Amino acid sequence: MKQQKSEELESIKLAIREAGLRATPARIATLKLLYGATSPLTHSEVADELQDLGVDKATVFRNLNDMATAGLLRRTELGDRVWRFELVSKGGEHGSAHPHFVCVDCGTVSCMDEIKLTAGSMRLSQEFGEITEILLRGHCNDCG
Amino acid sequence: MKQQKSEELESIKLAIREAGLRATPARIATLKLLYGATSPLTHSEVADELQDLGVDKATVFRNLNDMATAGLLRRTELGDRVWRFELVSKGGEHGSAHPHFVCVDCGTVSCMDEIKLTAGSMRLSQEFGEITEILLRGHCNDCG
DNA sequence: TCCCTATTGCAATAGAGTTGCATTTGCGTA
DNA sequence: TACGCAAATGCAACTCTATTGCAATAGGGA
Ligand SMILES: [Mn+2]
Ligand SMILES: [Mn+2]
Ligand SMILES: [Zn+2]
Ligand SMILES: [Zn+2]
């Protein structure tokens, strides 16, 4: 058990270093947090969690942005003027880019897999450019 | 010609009043501006234009929001933390809700018609809720 | 034309994120 | 293992977009 945690810690440290960054406590805690998340987290969600560790919000911002630039995280804005970050893990379920659904009522964010445009739409979209991200908004089932 | 403009003016005033709002110079100018636009305009784009008329930016914000609430405009956030507004004209080409494409490089916004999800995706999306808006992001053809 | 209330201008305020700078610390190297 | 320096951090000030309070102004129905 303890051995497990130690291994996890080491693998997180390694990932950070392989991205060209230093494995600081704040960064390790951030990745641990995102590792256990089922949807992208906002800066304030991460900052709240790391406050116990005495990490400043500016540091959280810088780390999230730096790790996104380094390719460890993916950063998106889902229409509510707040940045959200999620893990870019090769093996993970949400490793690669995928559509998101945002409830315009309660703000809940869901990661969607398997959502695609029609072949015709794909063709038409080339007229505009190369699509890299799909965002769907609407009313979630809880909000009716 | 002059008669034409007068008729347009009257129809704009009428539309504002039918929405339950007063037809003020600032609102009329805003609608005229949006009437001639081919993509949604930001608050600052509208505010810059109305500055010549001596309209305050707070007034522009209030009018855009109020007219959106009243159903004359549609308000959206396309991922760059700026509100954009477009006309909700029954007859107009972009009258009803439609997908938008945003270039993550240059910020250009395009209104897309005819872009749809696959039937399978529509079915899967019901698991999350009712989709009311589709936003696509990527690299426009100008930006490569 | 009059009156009431919606609307406006102006300034202060809010929220999310960014930045400058002095201090601390990870980690490659000796 | 100890050292040195660039990277990272804490803290405060600042930017940008948008919102709000309040007194003055002006639509438009009666
Ligand atoms: Mn996701
Ligand atoms: Mn549009
Ligand atoms: Zn909801
Ligand atoms: Zn572009």
Q: Within 7 A of a protein CB, which nucleotides of strand D?
A: 7-13, 17-21, 26-29
Q: Between these two residues, B123 and B1, which has the higher pLDDT value?
A: B123
* A15 and A83 co-located in one domain: yes
Count CB pairs under 8 A between chains A and B. Answer: 121
Domain residue limits at A111? 97-144
For the record, the structure tokens of B88 come out as 């909700």
Residues A65 and A130 in one domain: no
What confidence score (pLDDT) does residue A5 get? 62
The H helix count followed by the E strand count for chain B is 5, 6
> In this predicted structure, what is the pLDDT of residue B117?
94
Residues of B in contact with A121 (CB under 8 A): 114-117
Taking 70 as the threshold, does the pLDDT of residue B40 lie above it?
yes
Distance from the Cα of B92 to chain A's closest Cα (Å) equals 21
**Do residue A45 and residue A84 come from a single domain?**
yes
Instruction: Tell me the per-residue pLDDT of B71-112, one tens digit each, with 9 for 90 and over.
Output: 999 999 999 999 999 999 755 556 678 999 999 989 999 999
Question: What's residue A140's pLDDT?
Answer: 94
Per-residue pLDDT at A89: 78
Pick B124's closest partner by Cβ from A77, A79, A115: A115
Q: Which residue is it, tokens 């008329």?
A: B53
> What CATH number should be reported for the domain holding residue A103?
3.30.1490.190
Residue at which a domain ends, from A47, A63, A90: A90
Do B81 and B101 fall into the same domain?
A: no
Identify whether the C-beta of residue B21 lies closer than 8 Å to the C-beta of residue B66. Answer: yes
Helix (H) or strand (E) holding B39: none
User: Which residues of chain A does B112 touch, with a Cβ-Cβ cutoff of 8 Å?
Assistant: 124-125, 128
The CA–C1' separation of A28 and C25, in angstroms, is 15
Same domain, A103 and A131: yes
Q: Which residues of chain A have pLDDT under 50?
A: 1-2
Let me know whether A134 and A110 are in one domain.
Answer: yes
* Domain count across chain A: 2
The answer to whether residues A46 and A82 belong to one domain is yes
Co-location of B18 and B68 in the same domain? yes
Nearest to B15 by CA among B96, B94, B89: B89
User: What confidence score (pLDDT) does residue B2 get?
Assistant: 47
CATH number at residue B28: 1.10.10.10
| pLDDT for the residue A96 | 78
User: Which run of H or E residues covers position B109?
Assistant: strand B109-111
Give yes or no: residues B138 and B68 share one domain.
Answer: no
Cβ atoms of B126 and A121 within 8 Å: the answer is no
Boundary-marking domain end, from A90, A109, A129 = A90
Q: Are residues A70 and A22 in the same domain?
A: yes
Q: How confident is the model at residue B132 (pLDDT cuts 50, 70, 90)?
A: very high
Q: Which of the 8 DSSP states describes residue A40?
A: P
Residues of chain B with Cβ-Cβ distance to A143 below 8 Å are: 129
Q: Which of A45, A73, A90 is the last residue of a domain?
A: A90
Our measurement of CA A129 to C1' C24, in angstroms, reads 46
Q: What residues contact residue A5 under an 8 Å CB cut-off, 6+ apart?
A: none
